[in-house]
Homo-oligomer: A and B are copies of this chain.
Amino acid sequence: MIRIEDLYKITNNKGNIFHFLKFNQIKNKSDGEIYFSEVLYNKIKAWKLHNKATLNVTVPIGEVKFVFFDQKNNKFIEKNIGENNYKKIIIPPKIWYGFQGLSSNKSLIASYSDHIFDDNEVNRKEVSELNYDWRIK
């Protein structure tokens, strides 16, 4: 299932520094890539499942709710991470996931995938195809 790891942050009055990844901790690193995804307040990007890629994701700007569907136990797992709760989520293949922006300003997700993007290894569902209540409490 997913794993959460603490990351470190160095505060600085000119702007903070957020550590993300050391590559000596990564397998399959020869073929990976890094990209950033913005997500606006209340917007939902869901659902996606990678058949091969493992993702490492973090949120250095804003705050994002990640939702994972645990098919084995038929339940949802929610994790909020962001600049004030700075952690990394490791998402193995074969897990449905989606996310939503929780900050009034846009949030930024940084993702490291251990496979170059290939649409053929991605499954997608519409937001409504999994019965999760995305309303922000």
Question: Which residues in A have some Cβ–Cβ distance to B below 8 Å?
Answer: 12, 14-24, 29-40, 43-45, 60-61, 101, 105-108, 110, 112, 116
Contact = CB atoms under 8 A, between A and B. Distances in A.
A31 B24 contact: yes
A116 B43 CA distance: 36
23 contacts: A14-B43, A15-B37, A15-B43, A15-B45, A15-B106, A16-B37, A17-B36, A17-B37, A18-B36, A18-B38, A19-B35, A20-B34, A20-B35, A20-B36, A22-B33, A23-B33, A24-B116, A29-B29, A34-B110, A36-B60, A61-B61, A105-B105, A110-B110
Contacts of A108: 60-61, 108
Contact of A34 (B31, B45, B101, B112): B112
A106 to B, nearest CB: 6
Contacts of A45: 14-15
Contact of A24 (B20, B30, B35, B39): B30
A106 B22 CA distance: 25
